[in-house]
Amino acid sequence: MAILDILVYPDPRLKQISDPVTKFDSALKDFIRDLNETMLAGPGCVGIAAPQVGYFDRIVIVDLSSKPKNPNHGKLVLVNPVIVEASGSNIGREGCLSVPDYTGNIARAKKITLTAQDEEGNEHSYQMKGFEARVVQHEIDHLDGLLFLDRLVCRRSELFPRQNYAE
């Protein structure tokens, strides 16, 4: 296992669009293990996407098991995730391992229906809302070469220096 290096804004590779996963083999499982370990090494980190470590396949991990107040599915490995339905909109604060110095207020759909494969290639469908839906939308953006910075309506009023939260 290994903690992988995180690409940090303005690294141009963060704009790359990731490819669908087609091989569900042991190399995929090894990579997912390393990606998970890298996520766990980030303080308070609840999600990570493969392109953040320079691996341009459509893989995301979210883990909201530490946020029981927000209804969620716990840890999910999402391979080839697709949002098939989205509704509502709300604004919330987001941070990102690839944008370590800032957080931003971003509008996202309130509720989503998501399809994704697991690391074995099995298809799943999920209903998500609130914070979990927000985290998944943020991570899927990484697969399409987008950062939360790209979704700020106004950098002057909606971008904030990151606070040093006590652990």
User: Which residue ranges make up the site for Ni ion (CB under 5 A)?
Assistant: 96
Question: For residues 35 and 96, which CB has a smaller minimum distance to Ni ion in the complex?
Answer: 96
119 is catalytic: no
Report how far residue 34's alpha carbon sits from residue 37's, in angstroms, rounded to the nearest whole number.
Answer: 5
Q: Rounded to the nearest whole angstrom, what is the least distance from the CB of residue 95 to Ni ion in the complex?
A: 8
Report how far residue 158's alpha carbon sits from residue 55's, in angstroms, rounded to the nearest whole number.
Answer: 30
* Angle, CA of 143, 148 and 152, to the nearest 5°: 140
Q: Rounded to the nearest whole angstrom, what is the least distance from the CB of residue 141 to Ni ion in the complex?
A: 8
Is 116 within 8 Å of 79 (Cβ atoms)?
yes
What is the distance, to the nearest Å, from the Cα of residue 122 to the centroid of all Cα atoms in its chain? 20
Question: For residues 96 and 109, which CB has a smaller minimum distance to Ni ion in the complex?
Answer: 96
Question: For residues 42 and 121, which CB has a smaller minimum distance to Ni ion in the complex?
Answer: 42
Measured at CB, which residue is nearest to Ni ion? 96
Residues belonging to the active site: 139
